[in-house]
Amino acid sequence: QPEAHASSRLFFRIEPGDLVLHSFDLQHGVFLWSGVRYSLVFWIKDSAQSVAEGVAPWYDGLVESGDADALYNVAQDHELGICGRERDLPRAMALYEASAKLGHHFAQHNLSKLLFSAHEHDEAQEGRQRAAAWMRASAEQGFALAQKGYAFALAGGQGVEEDCAQAALWMRRAAEQLELEAACHMGDFCLHGCGLPRDARRAVRWYACSAEAGLPQAQCALGTLYLEGRGVAKDLASAERWLRLAAKQGSKKARRRLAALRGGA
């Protein structure tokens, strides 16, 4: 996926013996239509010393030259304290900002999250305004996680004026890229009328989109709607099925509702 939006995603078949090498961790993933995914990943480095020390020294020269990917990767190393680098949030933020200014949507998103965290309890809005501005910059490039994050900022008035209608718009953009949590939140927005008219039937459709892909929150919500007959015909068998799937993934709410359902049966 060379760009921020899922529409740039490219699928290619990997055959036995195929090998792809790159200096950085590419924006990649596996889209699973059915079955189970198993992955075996090898990290290849430039020397035995790099392997032994868990470092990636070739990043440093590229950081000095202003390479956006290198800046982002080293920023992430400092944020998490990995790859032989000390955890250093101020350094991480500086590197993320340098990469973000070059248009790197991951860096813009991560910088925004750090800024929101750093200024969460400030009385003044300036820090959160910077955070929201970077989140929007990433969202406008089409990055689904940033679109979801900006929707939350709008819904809560964090760094921007509260605007539930715009929050619903940005959340939908993320959901339409198959961002599962965003699809689940669209169900919430429809069910409770956040930024758009209450519509339990639309909520069912959004919850189903996310639930069928395995998100336990959506499975619990969908099971609850089947249990109550909201937006869909009451169906205790379907309710039990979805609640059981959510409970299996650790949802305490689903376990409570499943116990109540079985107790009342």
pLDDT in tens, 88-109: 999 999 999 999 999 999 999 9
pLDDT in tens, 53-66: 888 888 899 999 99
The Cα–Cα gap between 91 and 265 comes to 58
Coil/strand/helix, residue 184: helix
| CA-based nearest residue to 249, from 219, 205, 206 | 219
Residue-range domain boundaries for the chain: 1-117+126-161, 178-265
SS (H, E, C) 2-51: CCCCHHHCCCCCCCCCCCCCCCCCCCCCCCCCCCCCCCCCCCCCCCHHHH
The Cα–Cα gap between 9 and 106 comes to 16
pTM of the model as a whole: 0.88
Is the CB of residue 89 less than 8 Å from the CB of residue 72?
A: no
Is the pLDDT confidence value at 210 over 80? yes
Q: From residue 178, how far is each of 37, 144, 172, 181, 201 by CA, in Å?
A: 18, 9, 10, 9, 19
In the chain, pLDDT over 90 holds for what percent of residues? 73
Q: Does domain 178-265 have CATH number 1.10.620.20?
A: no
